[in-house]
Amino acid sequence: MIDVSNITITRSQLLSTKQQLELTQQGYELLDKKRVALMQKIIELEELAVEAASELQNLTNHAQMTLARAEAFVGEGRVKAASLGNNDEFPIEINETNVMGVRVPRISSSKKDLNQKQSVNFNSTSTMIEEAGDAFKKNVDGIIKLADNEIQLAVLLREIAHNTRRLKALELIVIPRLKGEYNYIRDELDERERSDHFRLKLAKDIIERRNKMAQQRRSINSAI
């Protein structure tokens, strides 16, 4: 049920309500297209995130294996000493991209090549230790890649939830209310038009009867 107490029954209001309804329906269609596009992007990102998680698991297993092998053959002390002498850093960059009007953060490594071998301050570093270091650098690369996918997913999932709430509000509240107001104003104007037409016809009939009676009286007076 709509509240009709504050509705103005005029032709201009009918036109205004019709325009509001059309604009709202257009907005609903645009939001629905946006929702579909977001869903497609989310599905794509979910597939990439699954692949990145699987790849990261493999990289982690390989890194742990190479570390265990280095500790077994070289010794845990020398491995720790090599790690303390390594000053490698893994800076990241956070940028933004636009997906259907949504600002989505992107995470990437600002280092050109995470796999590039860096020198360590340990003169007798063995090949096994270097392999373990390279494996963990690739592991960091995998972590950054997975984090990039997950943060995109988180932002887009929040946006699609917000978009869905707006669609539901338009579909269940705003559009039905505008349709109800439009139909009410149209029906009231039609009823007024029918009433005015009936009154005009009734007035015309009365005037015609009066004119006929007056003409009859004049005819009678002329005969006398």
Query: Domain ranges in the chain?
Result: 12-179
Exposure pattern of 54-88 as b/e (b: 16+ CB <10 Å)? Answer: eebeebbebbeebbeebbeebeeebbebbbeeeeb
Q: Does the structure show a pLDDT above 60 at 94?
A: yes
At 135-158, the pLDDT tens digits run 988 999 999 999 999 999 999 999
Q: Considering the chain, what percentage of its residues have pLDDT values greater than 90? A: 47
Residue with tokens 């104003």: 185
Region 35-60: mean pLDDT is 94
pLDDT tens digits, one per residue of 7-25: 888 889 999 999 999 999 9
Which of 55, 45, 48, 125 has the alpha carbon at shortest distance from 85?
125
Q: What are the pLDDT digits (tens) for 186-210?
A: 988 888 888 877 788 888 878 888 8
Q: What is the pLDDT of residues 101-113, one digit of tens each?
A: 889 999 888 765 5
In single-letter form, the type of residue at position 70 comes to A
**pLDDT for position 211:** 79
Separation of CA 98 from chain center: 12
**What is the per-residue pLDDT across 156-170, written as a single tens digit (0 to 9) for each?**
999 999 999 999 999
73-82: list long-range contacts, CB under 8 Å, 24+ apart. Answer: 73/126, 73/128, 74/126, 74/128, 74/129, 78/122, 78/124, 78/126, 78/129, 79/129, 79/132, 81/122, 82/120, 82/122, 82/125, 82/129, 82/133
| Three-state secondary structure readout of 8-40 | CCCHHHHHHHHHHHHHHHHHHHHHHHHHHHHHH
Q: Which CATH architecture has domain 12-179?
A: Orthogonal Bundle (1.10)
**The model scores a pTM over 0.85:** no
pLDDT at 124 over 60: no
With cut-offs at 50, 70 and 90, classify the pLDDT of residue 36: very high
